[in-house]
A and B are shown apart, each in its own frame.
Chain A
Amino acid sequence: MTYVPATRFLMAIVVVTSLSGCLPDQNDSMPAQVAQSPSSDTLPVSSAHGTPKVEVAASATEIMLVPADEKDLDALIAKNKGKVIFIDYWATFCGPCKKAFPHTVDLHKKHQAEGLVVISIDFDLLEDEAKVKDFLQKQGATFDNLISKYDGGGTDANDAFGIGPLPHLRLYDRQGKLRHKWEGKAEGLDAKVKELLAEKE
């Protein structure tokens, strides 16, 4: 996987934007939001990297941050087959990521009852775990939160996860197929989420 070229990326944005005219009108008749307690599911952590630092939530609202590599992420995606999965690849040093994060939380709140699963994966140094958790806690990120086992920036992390510089966002359909990917601003994200949620499994 190589970078999305800037020009082609912009072109894709234009195309996606114009494509939204093709989609059914987005009306306001969304199903009523159902308050749900945060998922108690934890990631299957492989033991290959030593003792996993899985923190046990003291209360339902305490954020957990689970170290993960690409295989762990794939396993989490596979486990959620049948749901639409949105993945936010981010880091505390990524300004645009932090700016967009409340929207990720909003998407989860709005659509989890319809079958949207949200996963965040952070790329800070592992030693910055407390800072990462603090941000997630303040954001109310009550979904699966991962931190890259690759310990900060590196060509290994980028190659393993198939990403370039952050922000990076991905949307998988109910079959577990990667359908959309954004590098930078997530143009048309909400419409795509609604579109994939409307698809049958």
Chain B
Amino acid sequence: MNSRLFSCLTFALALLTIPVSAADLDIGAKAPEFKGLEGVNGKKVSLDDFQAAKVLIVCFHCNECPVSADYQERFIEFVKKYQDKGVAFVAINCDIVNAEEENLKAMKARATEMKYNFPYVIDPTGKLADDYTAKATPHLFVFDSQRKLQYSGAFDDKQKREKVTKNYLADAVDALLAGKTPAVPKTRAFGCGIKNKPDEF
């Protein structure tokens, strides 16, 4: 065995032993900044706009993902229930690769059709998905009044609404509003992978 092959094999072995660990946005981490994102109502939206909110939910969302679509009504009902309790909700679209389907015009049409009661904005760079380590649409991030992350993951445990048994988002927000720490701070988001890099797929 020549030395090159040997070093390659050693390298390969080392590679196989690389642990697959989370580099997700840590619980307790500050909300990554965003500024002047264009929204469906013509207003620009920044993180600072939500300063008054006791709890801020950043939701990665898009038009074309059927899983996200299955959650729209749940988002709307959630906002209805919590908007008067000092909870803010913003949906961000980072699926910029599919610009034909995912653009402000299409988003406006969707928001109007479904009567969205929350800001739905687009990040033209798609970078926020990386900053927040968002993996899917929908993927939700819950920040406390200090804008520290307290929950990240799925809205609930099941795309099929009649089979939902755990309301992760509501439970986390209820805990925060009661001055407690969410019992389940993290779940696996499921849905469609976020397509924010042209060369990725």
- Chain A interface (Cβ within 8 Å of chain B)? 1-8, 12, 15-16, 19, 22-23, 93-96, 99-100, 125, 151-159, 164-167, 179, 181, 184-185
Contact = CB atoms under 8 A, between A and B. Distances in A.
Interface string B177-201: 0000000000111111111000011
A179 B9 CA distance: 14
Interface residues of B, number: 42
A4 B18 CA distance: 11
A153 B159 contact: yes
Given A6-B133, A158-B188, 17 more contacts: A2-B20, A7-B23, A22-B5, A93-B66, A95-B98, A95-B192, A151-B163, A153-B190, A153-B191, A154-B158, A155-B153, A155-B168, A158-B190, A164-B188, A165-B191, A166-B193, A167-B201
Contacts, number: 114
A190 to B, nearest CB: 17
Interface string B62-88: 000111000000000000000000000
B26 to A, nearest CB: 11
Contact of A96 (B11, B21, B189, B201): B201
The 7 closest A-B pairs by CB, nearest first: A5-B23, A22-B8, A153-B159, A96-B201, A165-B136, A2-B22, A153-B190
A19 B11 CA distance: 8
Nearest to B138: A153
A1 B21 CA distance: 8
A126 to B, nearest CB: 9
B97 to A, nearest CB: 9
Contacts of A167: 193, 201
A102 to B, nearest CB: 14
A134 to B, nearest CB: 16
Q: Classify the interface of chain B: helix, strand, loop or mixed.
A: loop
Given A125-B159, A154-B163, A165 B190 contact: yes
B200 A184 contact: yes
A153 B201 contact: no
A185 B200 contact: yes
A129 to B, nearest CB: 14
**Most chain B CB atoms below 10 A, which of A93, A158, A165:** A165
A12 B15 contact: yes
Nearest to A150: B158
Contacts of B49: none
Given A12-B18, A22-B5, A157 B190 contact: yes
A3 B189 CA distance: 10
Contact of A15 (B15, B158, B187, B195): B15
